[in-house]
A and B are shown apart, each in its own frame.
Chain A
Amino acid sequence: MSLGPEASVTDEKTAPTADAADRPGEQAIAGRSLKQIAWRRLKKDKVAIAGACVVIFLIVVAILAPLLIKLLGHPIDEYHNDALDTELGTGLPKGALGGMSWEYLLGVEPQTGRDIFSRIIYGAQTTLTVAFLSAFLSTLFGTIFGLAAGFLGGWVDSVISRIMDFLLAFPQLLFAIALLSVLPDEFFGLGPRWSRVGVLIGVIGFFGWPYIGRIVRGQTLSLREREFVEASRSLGARSGRILFRELLPNLAAPILVYTTLIIPTNILTEAALSFLGVGIPPPNPSWGGMLSDAVQFYRIDPMYMIIPGSVIFITVLAFNLFGDGLRDALDPKAR
């Protein structure tokens, strides 16, 4: 997660928010299942629900991208010189607000005349795919290694913990850039776009796992000492059973919360890497790449910067709102 564009290296989300003042309330509603409680709270959290709606909307848009573009836009790599000012030779979009019109809903790119609307929608595909899958990857690795470290203890724990410490003490963004700039552009016949998506998922997912790993390890350690695990162990339960029947279900809530919360971070990271020129290769659009193109023009065609920037902002905010809501609803400390 710290890959995150110049974000705090810490995971502020680990900070518990349970307030002792609420404890009477907690006791009061004890007895209902955690799921029910969480769902009830989540439903009441209008902001989180709004976030979730935006997220769902974006996912639908990304899935329907080809259709939407047919209906409302133009192919992403179609040049439209007619939408640009060629008279004075500035190459800027004709008309106000970066050339916004019914023809081009979000205007056109300077110097190429490509439809920004279409490119934003296609960018959503890329961004969301990368963000979700890399979050999944981090979660998978984080859970496996965190569980292993916390459950097995001993040298396994020390090795995994050292690796996690090491990865966290690494100039990660620099390293990701360096790695991305030398990894192959194409493999498995996926084509440049999806190959790159794969590489991005790998790199972002890889640098993200220690964060989940640390949390899972900590939770496992504390759960391991809890009565119910002790009890089942004393009853002769095998490790596998303890792991999957006792530990994992209890880890599910925090894992879900942190997975949700690294998605927005991954979006920012993907955008940052694209912004720095090691993301999705052109002409495939990505939000960060569009912002990076906009650097040249933001003084004279600010819309070209504002649109992808705002889209990144709204998407990340929506995920954060939803994630925060989910965490508040599920916060294990509030149980």
Chain B
Amino acid sequence: MLSYIVRRVFNAIITLLVVTAVTFGIFFAIPKAIGTDPALLYIGKQSDPAAIEGIRQKMGFDDPIYVQYGNFLKGIVAGREYSNGPDVTDCPAPCLGYSFSTDQEVTPLLLEDIPVTLSLALGAAVLWLIIGISFGVVSALRRGSFVDRAAMTTALAGVSLPVYFTGLLSSAIFVYALGWLPESNYKPFTEDPGQWFTSLILPWITLAFLFAATYARLTRANMLETLGEDYVRTARAKGLTERVVIGKHALRSGLTPIVTIFGLDLGALLGGAVLTENVFNLRGLGYQALNAIRQNDLPVILGVTLIAAFFIVFANLIVDLVYGWIDPRVRLA
């Protein structure tokens, strides 16, 4: 088990390195390809040659790409110093560099976004797990019933609805037409729990609706498969009550795939729910990412990509470990 964990962690780190290297390479290559200078991006409104040269030196844009990448990695691990003589900027570890467009340090910038994304993703996850799984299980147990058909029709509609449409539609209805909810204006939980909650209700529901639909379909399919398994028949043949058969024997293995998928979904979402955050003006990682991409703000793009990849890889890792814990066949193999 230990070597298994070590191998997985090692793989995860390699994946992260590859992701950053690829991202770094692409965004380094792109400005070159279209003939622009990243220093110009920093300068933004000016084109004073001295200023550009200063930035170029300070940021090390003249170095070969592998040196720049090396410095980037070093910054994450040990922090780094940007300097062009008199002007020294210290960027403590984990340093992800400075934003081209706002000139802010990327790390705190993104650290501020993480709680937003976290609130969105976790809140939605709770909702979609509860709704998706319970409807999926009920549908599977009452296959062909009215509940099953209604739930599955809704779920199919759910997976067919783009989140940017449901988002707009729900706020048009609940915020604008009915006025049940205020315009969303995110406040951190620590500052104003009430506003935090009201600003997240619609995003949660919107996001959860999509995922709940997927999870309901998935749960139903898994449960149906599990219910057809020989060991469930065995459990029944032992005379166990239906409660125990379903609740203990069928659910346990029927939901195992859900664990995997949930981990991956959550990981992906934590890297930024780009569409939902943008539709609802939630300044999370996805919002930040999109903005950064539009402004070619390489350090921020890199930072978000890294964090997103980290969450995905980390979630993969957790899923693998949890899987090993749930399923003795994996653990003891």
Does A touch B (CB under 8 Å) in the complex? yes
Q: How far is the CB of B277 from chain A (nearest CB, A)?
A: 9
Cβ–Cβ contact A171 & B160, under 8 A: no
Residues of B within 8 A of A272 (CB): 162, 164, 275
Let me know if A18 and B228 touch, CB within 8 A. yes
**A276–B162 touching, CB < 8 Å:** no
- From A20, A271, A291, A321, residue with most partner B Cβ within 10 Å: A20
- Please count how many residues in chain B sit with their CB below 8 Å of the partner chain's CB atoms: 65
Contact indicator per residue, chain A 292-307, by CB within 8 Å of chain B (1) or not (0): 1011001100100110
**Given the known A-B contacts A6-B274, A12-B214, A181-B294, are A20 and B165 also in contact in the complex, defined by CB atoms under 8 Å?**
no
- Please pick, from A2, A288, A291, A320, the residue contacting B268 in the complex, using a CB distance under 8 A: A2
Which chain B residues lie closer than 8 Å to A271 at the CB level? 162, 164
Q: How many A-B residue pairs have CB under 8 A?
A: 167
B294 near A174 with CB under 8 A, answer no
Chain A, residues 175-218, CB within 8 Å of chain B (1/0): the string is 10111011000000000000000000000000000000000000
A114 to chain B, nearest CB (A): 20
A9 touches B268 (CB 8 A): yes
- Any chain A CB within 8 A of the CB of B135? no
- Contact, CB under 8 Å: B160 / A317: yes
- CB within 8 Å for A9 and B265 given contacts A15-B222, A171-B308: yes
- Separation of A324 and B156 alpha carbons in the complex (Å): 10
Query: A298, B274: Cβ atoms under 8 Å?
Result: no
Contacts of B278 in A (CB 8 A): 276
Q: In the complex, which of the residues B33, B207, B274 contacts A276, with contact meaning CB atoms closer than 8 Å?
A: B274
Interface check A170, CB cutoff 8 A: yes
Closest to B313 in A: A169
B-side contacts of A10, CB under 8 Å: 214, 218, 260-261, 264-265
**Inter-subunit contact A7/B27 (CB<8 Å):** no
Knowing A19-B228, A295-B168 are in contact, say whether A7-B261 is a contact too (CB < 8 A).
no
CB A32 to nearest CB in B, in angstroms, measures 23
Check A12/B218 contact, CB under 8 A, given A19-B228, A171-B305.
Answer: yes
B274 touches A174 (CB 8 A): yes
* Shortest Cβ gap from A132 to chain B (Å): 17
Which B288-324 residues have C-beta < 8 A from chain A? Answer: 289-290, 293-294, 301, 304-305, 308-309, 312-313, 316
Q: Which residues of A contact B228 (CB under 8 A)?
A: 18-21
Do B165 and A312 have beta carbons less than 8 Å apart? yes
Q: Is the CB of A291 within 8 A of B276?
A: no
On A, residues with C-beta under 8 Å from B are 2, 5-10, 12, 15-21, 165-166, 169-171, 173-175, 177-179, 181-182, 264, 268, 271-272, 275-277, 288, 291-292, 294-295, 298-299, 302, 305-306, 309, 312-313, 316-317, 320-321, 324
What are some 10 contacts across the A-B interface (CB < 8 A)?
A: A7-B210, A9-B261, A15-B257, A17-B221, A20-B227, A169-B312, A171-B272, A178-B293, A313-B165, A320-B156
